[in-house]
Amino acid sequence: MSSDLLFFLLFFLLFLYPEMSMRMRIIKRLKCIKEIEKERKSRVIAMIHRQEVLSLFGIPIYKFITIEDSEEILRAIRLTPEDMPIDLIIHTPGGLALAAEQIAIALKEHKAETRVIVPHYAMSGGTLIALAADKIIMDKNAVLGPVDPQLGQYPAPSIVKTVEEKGKDKVEDKTLILADIAKKAINQVQNFVYYLLKDKYGEEKAKELAKILTEGRWTHDYPLTVSKLKELGIEVSTDVPKKVYKLLELYPQAGRNRPSVYYIPTPYKKEKS
């Protein structure tokens, strides 16, 4: 093999192949989205956050809800006729509160039915967006999460509780400032959740749910399962379209060395005895 050919092969493997592979995957994703739209007669928007890998060095990039996401989703909603339903497929650990709130408001204000579909999880800001929809559709094993605000590495309710238990005269000025910001953040998110829910659940139930989801009753990563959500009085359907799972498979989780989960990827039918 000549050195020129070897160089071309190395160049292809390092630069061209990953780019071509990603482009093919994007085409498959758009095709799958089109199939779901045809099946459900709706505008389908997907916000799926996986680890992405830089094509050259294989470095994982962790994704979350950003302002860029909210810009794109708001644009998609603007391009959707007012009488056309929207299906927003979400798979996310959360992200920027401002971006999540922008998406939630746009979803709530859309005149036709809006549905958020959660095939695996939608935590924090993802839950906030789900609460804005007319209908939440989740896999039976999927989860949402609390929406209590976080200030840096600390939950806002915990900051407030610490000051209340210790007393204002026994903490530093910096902690008092944080507690003041934390109270404002909690009130703001509570009021926002109430705004999202009052039309669906009535004022009293919306206030109750807003308090429960923001008061720091659980840790921020506590899984709110379908049964737990129903126990709280939040309406949830488990009728996830099968093609949504197919779409999620087109966003493969980045592996560093080798897969840690193995199975034969075909549906099994129970043999007749």
* Confidence band for 31, pLDDT divided at 50, 70 and 90: very high
pLDDT confidence of residue 143:
98
How high is the mean pLDDT of the chain?
88
Higher pLDDT: 254 or 60? It is 254
E strands, the chain, are 43-48, 52-53, 60-61, 86-91, 114-118, 121-122, 135-138, 143-144, 150-151, 154-155, 224-225
Whole-number Å distance between alpha carbons of 97 and 65: 8
Averaged pLDDT, 5-19 = 60
pLDDT higher than threshold 70 for residue 19: no
Radius of gyration of the chain (CA): 22
pLDDT in tens, 149-178: 999 889 999 999 999 998 888 888 899 999
pLDDT in tens, 129-145: 999 999 999 999 999 99
pLDDT confidence of residue 84:
96
44: left (phi over 0), alpha (psi -120 to 50) or beta: beta
pLDDT confidence of residue 66:
93
Share of the chain above pLDDT 70, in %: 81
Higher pLDDT: 11 or 184? It is 184
Please, what CATH class does the domain formed by 3-145+223-249 belong to? alpha beta
Delimit the domains of the chain by residue range. 3-145+223-249, 153-220
Neighbouring C-beta atoms of residue 2, cutoff 10 Å: 7
pLDDT confidence of residue 171:
86
pLDDT in tens, 93-126: 999 999 999 999 999 999 999 999 999 999 999 9
Number of H helices, E strands in the chain: 10, 11
Lowest mean pLDDT among 14-28, 51-65, 139-153, 185-199: 51-65
Lowest mean pLDDT among 47-51, 172-176, 178-182, 253-257: 253-257
pTM value? Answer: 0.85
Q: Which amino acid is at 182?
A: A
Share of the chain above pLDDT 90, in %: 72
Whole-number Å distance between alpha carbons of 118 and 188: 25
